Amino acid sequence: MKNYIKEDDPFIVPTDDLKLIEEHFGNASNKYKHCSISRIELPPRWTEPIQNPDFDEFLLVGKGRLLIIIDGERVEISSGESLLVKKGAKVRYTNPFDFPAQYWSICLPPFSLDTVNRENK
């Protein structure tokens, strides 16, 4: 039995908002139960619905900037910066800028549509 799992072909999560999600570990890709790790690309002027997740989400921005609204507070993070959004926060992820953004997301426990608790747009 191997003491590692190598993922070189991430699962592309279907979306309808021009966002690209490549999940390397997690519920959608390989049913990894401890966390999810995804690379996400956002188009310019993108936003998603408010959510109240039942997981902690760590973000690391690779390119561009993100504006994240957490419990009503506006937090901007740029390339090379990271942020932890704690479980239970009311959060909205956005890229209101005129250029694309790319970031990595790690969710503990793993991201799930059942636990993200999105509000309607």
Question: Can you give the CATH number for the domain in which 19 is found?
Answer: 2.60.120.10
Q: Is 62 left (phi over 0), alpha (psi -120 to 50) or beta?
A: alpha
- If DSSP codes are grouped into helix, strand and coil, which group holds residue 84? strand
Domain count of the fold of the chain: 1
Q: Note the pTM of the prediction, 2 decimals.
A: 0.92
Residue 56 lies in a domain: yes
Tens of pLDDT, residues 67-112? 999 999 999 999 999 999 999 999 999 999 999 999 999 999 999 9
Tens of pLDDT, residues 11-54? 999 998 999 999 999 988 988 899 999 999 999 999 999 999 99
Residue 72 lies in a domain: yes
Residues of the domain holding 60: 13-116
Residue 73 lies in a domain: yes
For 39, the token pair is 């690379």
Residue 3 lies in a domain: no
Residue 116 CA to residue 118 CA, distance in Å, equals: 6
Residue 62 lies in a domain: yes
